[in-house]
């Protein structure tokens, strides 16, 4: 299957555009946990492991605190090449859709963060089930989200992180690399066994 001329391209926020793990490590440290930060893991998406959180309750509490105290608006840009990669995809005629599983109550923090960091997206969508955003191709770091997208017949690249190394399939470590792969004239979804619905 060849790609349509105009692609809808779904970009995740936390763990792809924004350095969520450093943000959550900062909250954990304030709560008295000996967080190692992004330099050493985490190796699990749930963050319950040595050097991170002792249990799911403390991990959930830290995530809620980061969200509810405006911390999501203060995260660092994870990939300095992201703004240029987004511009390149749009200049090629594609639509860039930021798709996040954050709750819609974070819309204001999320939109202002994107603007401040120069991410010029066409749309910002809030979906726990990301295939519902209707993109042809996605970039995401979360193993369960990549599974959901592929299960729904969507094409999903993995954004490389220590907690997703077990996930098979196409993987990039920079957003510019994702853009290059999509813009390659030889790129074909069927190479990856994806159907499009
Ligand atoms: Mg993510």
Asked whether the predicted pLDDT for residue 96 surpasses 60, the reply is yes
Name residues whose C-beta falls within 8 Å of residue 191's C-beta, 6 or more positions apart in sequence.
Answer: none
Could you read off the pLDDT of 97-147 as tens digits, one per residue? 999 999 899 999 999 999 999 999 999 999 999 999 999 999 999 999 999
Name residues whose C-beta falls within 8 Å of residue 182's C-beta, 6 or more positions apart in sequence.
Answer: 3, 7, 9, 89, 94, 137
Distance of CA 64 from the midpoint of ligand 1 (Å): 15
Q: What is the pLDDT of residue 20?
A: 94
Q: What is the pLDDT of residue 187?
A: 79
Distance of CA 124 from the midpoint of ligand 1 (Å): 14
Which residues keep their CB under 5 angstroms from ion ligand 1?
A: 12, 14-15, 141-142
Buried b (16+ CB within 10 A) or exposed e, 14-41: bbbbbbbbebbbbbbeeeebebbbbeeb
Q: Kind and range of the H or E element at 111? A: helix 107-116
Chain-centre distance for alpha carbon 133: 14
Asked whether the predicted pLDDT for residue 195 surpasses 80, the reply is no
């Amino acid at each position: 299957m060849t790609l349509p001329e105009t692609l809808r391209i779904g970009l995740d926020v936390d763990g792809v555009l924004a350095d969520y793990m450093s943000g959550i490590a900062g909250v954990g440290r304030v709560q008295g946990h000996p967080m190692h930060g992004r330099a050493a893991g985490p190796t699990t998406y749930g963050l319950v492991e040595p050097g991170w959180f002792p249990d799911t309750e403390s991990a959930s509490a830290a995530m809620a605190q980061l969200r509810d105290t405006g911390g999501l608006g203060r995260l660092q840009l994870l990939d300095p090449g992201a703004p240029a990669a987004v511009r390149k995809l749009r200049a090629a005629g594609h639509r860039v859709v930021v798709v996040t599983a954050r709750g819609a109550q974070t819309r204001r923090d999320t939109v202002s963060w994107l603007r401040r960091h120069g991410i010029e997206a066409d749309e910002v969508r809030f979906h726990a089930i990301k295939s519902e955003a209707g993109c042809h191709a996605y970039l995401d770091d979360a193993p369960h989200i990549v599974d959901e997208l592929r299960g729904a017949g969507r094409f999903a690249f993995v954004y490389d992180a220590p907690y997703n190394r077990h996930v098979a399939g196409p993987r990039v470590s920079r957003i510019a690399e994702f853009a290059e792969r999509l813009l390659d004239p030889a790129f074909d979804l069927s190479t990856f066994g994806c159907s499009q619905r």
